[in-house]
Amino acid sequence: MKKLTMFIVSDSVGETAELVAKAAASQFREGLETVSLKRFSHIEDETQINEIVYLAKAQQAVIVYTLVKSCMRTKIKKECQNAGIKCIDLLGPIVEQLGIELGEKPLEEPGLVRKLDEDYFKKIDAIEFAVKYDDGRDPRGILKADIVLIGVSRTSKTPLSQYLAHQRYKVANVPLVPEVEPPEELFNIDPKKCFALVISPQKLNSIRKERLKALGLKDDANYARFERIEEEIAHFNDVIDKIGCTIIDVTNRAVEETANVIITELQANSK
């Protein structure tokens, strides 16, 4: 029965190399007594490689590495050969082959996979947040949000929330109607993160009529009448005067354009 010692060497965290090493070792049970894995993370200096190879030789270890810089891969391979120990390059052959296939040089920047993973999960969190706190369902989301959208019905609050969520912003949106008092949380947030969406009465009338038709209803319902729209807009103006937030006219703006205005203002305010 043999004892296998593997050194996992990476210029990032080393999770990928360790998982592959474990998966490979799991295929050998009869002749293998124990498997010992030691991870060496964030290795970006050639002197570190010398020390690792020295330890590997002393412990009769196999070195498994994922190093994105070609100079570091060359260094560790050469040192292992000089020391007479085994080493396995998990990343180099794939990167080199992809470089040939794509006709370009790799970035050779450590940690990009982790950055991509973190970015992905941040986007998922933001999307789930936008769904949870859509349409004023839970006013607690107002205090947690990066962006708060307010406006009367049919001013594109929900699609705008989802678009901004895909840009990694946590967004809560709140509809304003005269019969319902706006949540107290609206008046307790930084007005710089609150954006009021305004639209012309004529455009809103047209949108609401089309909405009623899509639902199989008559387009002369109170919801689409000018008197009702003007009442809602008057209430909307009262609320935004109290908050003191930024007003954005979405009458002739696509969702993407409105999102860009919001993001630009947020970035300007953060400076």
Binding residues for ADP, as ranges, are 151-158
What is the C-alpha to C-alpha distance for residues 149 and 245, in angstroms, rounded to an integer? Answer: 10
Question: Which residue type occupies 91?
Answer: L
What is the C-alpha to C-alpha distance for residues 52 and 62, in angstroms, rounded to an integer? Answer: 11
Q: How open is the CA angle 120-126-127, to the nearest 5 degrees?
A: 90
Q: Which residues are annotated as a binding site?
A: 151-158
Judge whether 157 and 151 are in contact, CB under 8 Å. Answer: yes
Tokens of 3: 């004892």
